[in-house]
Structure 1
Amino acid sequence: MTANVGTFDRVLRLVIGVLLVIAPFATDIAMFQGQVATIVSVVVGAVLVLTALVRVCPLYSLLGMRTCSS
């Protein structure tokens, strides 16, 4: 697959993804007291980390978007 995630987008996805995966377990924020919110946060975070690592975003592919220059 052709890379469609640029460097800035990749770093942003990685940082936000890691924060979303860690936040439910490392903080005492009321939003994460429910099991559903914790699961959603971890899944969304994992997807962001995965797309940052492989540099391919399926949604970008569907929409014909690219944030990388090559």
Structure 2
Amino acid sequence: MSVNVGNMDRILRLVVGLALIAMVFVGPQTPWGWIGLVPLLTGLTRRCPAYSIFGLSTCQRRK
């Protein structure tokens, strides 16, 4: 099981995921904020199922 999410992509996913989840508790308090679990989990595991399906990767390749 290889990783396919690079460092910058990972940081962005974590920030967006936390921001969306925060919307559940603060701000508009909408349940749509739970969608933030998807980018949060993919950022934590460094693995994106959609990237795997399409053969994408944002990781730097080792030489």
Aligned-pair identity in percent equals 43
Indicate the residue corresponding to 2:2 in structure 1.
2
Runs of 4+, deviation exceeding 6 Å: none
Normalising by the residue count of structure 2, what TM-score does the alignment of the two structures yield?
Answer: 0.87
After TM superposition, give the deviation of residue 41 of structure 1 in Å: 2.1
**Where do 1:1-70 residues align within 5 Å?**
1-27=1-27, 29=28, 32=30, 38=31, 40-42=32-34, 44-70=35-61
Code of the aligned partner of 1:24: V
Query: CA RMSD for the aligned pairs?
Result: 1.4
Equivalenced residues, count: 61
Bigger RCO of structures 1 and 2 (CA < 8 A, at least 6 apart):
1
Structure with greater proportional helix content: 1
Question: Mind listing any 5+ residue stretches in structure 2 that lack a counterpart?
Answer: none
